[in-house]
Structures are given as structure tokens and as C-alpha cells.
A and B are shown apart, each in its own frame.
Chain A
Amino acid sequence: MIVAQEKPLDEIRRMMDRYERVLLLGCGTCMTVCGAGGEREVSYLHEALRVAQARGGNGTHTFSEYTVKRQCDPEFVELLVDRVGDVDAVLSLGCGIGVQAIAERFPDIPVLPGVNTSFMGMSKEQGVWDERCAACGDCRLEQTAGICPITRCTKGILNGPCAGTKNGKCEANKDMDCAWVLIYQRLERQGQLEKMRRYYPPRNFRTIARPKRIVSKANIDAGGDDA
């Protein structure tokens, strides 16, 4: 899932300074699960903005709040037409994709980002998220025992550990495991160290050129991505 962090309140207030009526728009999928921009966070933010406004400062605003099932999905974005029609700006607590999906649907309405989209990851424990995938478009987890060196090695190198690893940790961060130590240990346990002895050539950054687009096979068969 996509993991994000709420932006600081001061930054949010500066962004919305010039807009009177602002819709605080949460997202019911990833942002709800990672606790950065679901219904609960929209409600907290609404309250925090009201309190900050009451204490004086930059302008007066009228806030409304709503949380849509998925901001990245046109089917759900369409349901926002009436709400967005009544405001001067939308503060989206969706990920960067959500912000842009709303912006693309409503060309005349400024859409402001309320969170910093951070990575694709998994929950390690309550409130702790770890990055696991860099969406490189060329998955090599079979070669690396299910541990991604592109994501988990700070240099994203493909042919084994650098010399900076110490106590099994990364030179960039003493609390972070060295991905290549983990890969070695897991390949060894599975009797597959020959995979690490192989040479892996440089990455092909054109695997899917940026910005990436995937057209599902069903759509191609039906005659194009508009089908």
C-alpha cells in the first residue's frame, strides 16, 4: 500500500491562506490505513485548523470535510462534483495520485496536497511502516530471495554488498539492516547462493518510461485504452 505522512499544520495553513471556502478531502483506502488522510485525520485536521483560526492569524476560512472511498478512481471522484462546486479550493489528504486525480477532474479548482506521499510499504507493527517496493517495473525478487535490493539497499546496487556494511547494518543508517546481508543469509539458508554469484547488468531505466502507463490486456483486445 501507499504510505504518507501529514504535512505540518503551518505549511497547510500557508497553502490555503488565499482561499476562503476549503474542502478537506480524505481518502478511504491507503491513506485511511496508514493513518495520514482518512476520515479520522480529516476530522482532526478540521478541528486543528478551527483552533488555529480562532487564535488569530492568516485569514478566515470556512471548512467542509468529506472522505471519498478512493481519490485515484474516477468512479468515486465523480461523486464529488457538487461538493467541489461549492468551494474555492480542495485540500486533498489523498496521496500524490489522489491530489492529481482530483486536479485533473476539476480544472478550475486549486487542489492542495495535505500529505507527503512517502513510499509503498507494509506495516511492521502498530504505527510503523517500512518501504518494500520501488515500483521499478522489472521485478527481480526471484534472484534476491524475496528481498528487494533496489528498495532496501540505500545505493540500490545489484551485485552484492558494498564495503560499508558493519554489524549487518547499512552505512547510511546504523539502525537499518544491510539488504545484501539479508539476501546472502536467505539465499544461503535456501541453498541458492549461486544466484548471488551471478553478474547482474545495469538496470534498464526504460523498462517502463516515465510517466509510466499500463494498459491491461483486456483493454488492448477491446481496441485501446479508451475502450
Chain B
Amino acid sequence: MPNSLFEEKLCSDKFLVTTEIGPPKGADTSEMVHHIDLLKDVVDAINVTDNQSSVMRYPSLGGCLFIKERGGEPIFQMTCRDRNRLALEADLLLAHSRGIANVLCLTGDCVDVGDHKEAKPVFDLDSIQLLEMIKTLESGIDMGGNDLKGAPKFCMGASVHPEADFIEPQLIKFDKKVTAGAQFFQTQGIFDLGSLKRFMQYASQFNVKILAGIIVMASAGMARYMNNNVPGIIVPQAIMDELATAEKGKGLLKGVEIAARFIKTIKEENLCHGVHIMAVGNEGVVPDILEAADMVGVST
């Protein structure tokens, strides 16, 4: 039996759409809640980022609780940067007890790229060890070998980087994540459909669902910034040039247009099993992207 509504959809042939919400820098959750209400019925699940880019924010688990309360389907992003194995296990028990059943297992960015550069990086586990740890919890014991009073159950996901400039070691890691039990993958940002096709030629041998990561660019400047500052991201010149053609103040509209075009092509050409839209601070445009991609009402 599936552990979540999202897992049930993973088992179907449906083209899946997920998106993400970046929680607030502070205790005022009103905008996040507004975005949850806007998105919960137009996508299949909503990720909540976990101190994304090592910038301290309202926690992922807290955002997931809001999604759950408001009738949405959360994906709990969990990185290994800020918590040791005890804290990770404890948060997973909390998540399960509150009906949060989808977990995206990530290693996490290094603290050097964030806003707490003097913090101690934890990395007691890596993403693959986190997947293995969840299986251990599901078997009814913790990492210390102790019996649990009530075992949690999860639907596990992971990330993969099809556009890495040196792909072979990333593919080895992808294999290991599949072996460790990842059921779905949300990829890092895809800017070149050729690399997605090449990756899918490889990935289609595995029984896992691949959701192509779509980053919504708000301007050519943002693309340049991401190239220089966001780990692993390589926005090609053609996309930057296209963003640069936008009139002043209309960059986000151009970004929406590009994202919609990618999503439409991916769906029409059946390149992978779905998309994961990352609007990075512009969550409000996600319904516009889906409308422009002729995908209104996808989650129903």
C-alpha cells in the first residue's frame, strides 16, 4: 500500500508536477501560507526547502506541517548539513507522526555558500546514508540498533544532476541512490533538453520516476548570479541571451515563458516522468507557468 498520495501517483502513468516553497527568513509565515494555498491544488506535491543554499530560514518540517494542515501534499526536504543522525532520526519520527510521508534526501550545500559561514558543518551522514537510515527506521530499529516503538514509513526521493559537467561520477551516485531505495528523483535545474535526453537513456533502465528540475529565471542578472554562486548550476548563454531580450521589468515574464516551453516540450515528447518547478522566491508564478504550458488542473 502506498505511504502517501504522492507515492500512489508515482505508481501511475501520470505526468507529475511538483514545485517548491522557500520558507521565510523570519517568523512571519503569512506569505508562505498564501503560496501554499495558491499551489496546493495545482501541483501533485510541494517541496519545502531545508535552509536552502545554507541560508537560515523557517524550517522545512514547519512548512510541511502548514501544507498538511491546509490539505496539500508535502515533500519534506532533508539535508545532512545541519543535523547529526540523532536529530535527523528524531525529525523523521515527527514527520511521520504528523502525516508527512514524502522525504527528499539531500546531502546539502556547504555552509560556505550561505549566510552563516562560521557555522559547524555537520554531514554526519550523506544523502545515500540518509536513504539507508530511513530504511533502517522503517524496519523498526534506529541507527543505534535499538527497537522503535512504532516504525515510520516514507516515500523516499533524491536528487540527481544530469547537467553536471563531469557526469560519470554523478551517474555512479545516482545508481547508489536507486539501490538505497530512492523511488523518485527531482533533478537539479535542466537548461539543455539534450542532457536530459542523454540522462534518461541511462536512467530508464531503473524503476524510478524522474522529475526534471525547472528553475524559473527572473532576469539575465539572476542567471549570471546563479552561474557564479549556486553550486553546480550552469545556465547556458542562449538562455541568458533570451532573458536579456525582455523589456525592463519584464524579465520574470520571459522566465515564465521559457519555463513553460521547457515543460511543454518535456511532456509532449515524453522525455521523463514529470517536472519539478523551482521558482526561487517567485512561487506565485507557478500557476501561470502551468497555464502557459497548457497544464491547468494537473493535480486533479
Contacts and interface: CB of A to CB of B under 8 A. Distances in A.
Contact of A199 (B112, B159, B166, B180): B180
A161 B129 CA distance: 13
Contact of B166 (A157, A165, A196, A202): A165
Contact of A166 (B168, B169, B231): B231
A159 B128 contact: yes
B103 to A, nearest CB: 17
Interface string B80-107: 0100010000000000000000000001
A155 B120 CA distance: 11
Given A155-B121, A172-B110, A196-B172, A164 B231 contact: yes
B141 to A, nearest CB: 14
B165 interface: yes
Contacts of A184: 166, 168-169, 172
Given A163-B232, A168-B166, A157 B175 contact: no
Contacts of B173: 159-161
A75 to B, nearest CB: 37
B170 A163 contact: yes
A166 B110 contact: no
Contact of B112 (A160, A172, A188): A172
Contact of B85 (A158, A161, A199, A202): A202
Contacts of A164: 109-110, 231-232
B176 interface: yes
A181 B176 contact: no
A180 B126 CA distance: 14
Interface in B169-199: 169-170, 172-173, 175-176, 179-180, 188
Contact of A202 (B143, B168, B188, B232): B143
Nearest to A183: B169
A159 B126 contact: yes
Contacts of B180: 199
B124 A197 contact: no
A171 B113 contact: yes
B125 interface: yes
A158 B107 CA distance: 11
A162 interface: yes
B55 interface: no
Interface string A30-63: 0000000000000000000000000000000000
A184 B160 CA distance: 17
Nearest to A201: B129
A154 interface: yes
A160 B169 contact: yes
Contacts of A161: 169-170, 173
B107 A155 contact: yes
A193 interface: yes
B188 A163 contact: yes
A199 B170 contact: no
A126 interface: no
A178 B121 CA distance: 17
A163 B169 CA distance: 10
A167 interface: yes
B232 A166 contact: yes
A167 B165 contact: yes
B126 A155 contact: yes
A173 interface: yes
A163 B161 CA distance: 6
A156 interface: yes
Given A164-B110, A164-B232, A154 B85 contact: no
B38 interface: no
A193 B176 CA distance: 13
Contact of B172 (A173, A197, A201): A197
Contacts of B121: 154-155
Given A166-B234, A172-B113, A202-B85, A197 B166 contact: no
B193 to A, nearest CB: 19
A105 B179 CA distance: 55
A136 B112 CA distance: 23
A196 B234 CA distance: 26
Given A159-B129, A163-B170, 7 more contacts: A159-B126, A161-B170, A161-B173, A163-B161, A170-B110, A172-B113, A199-B128
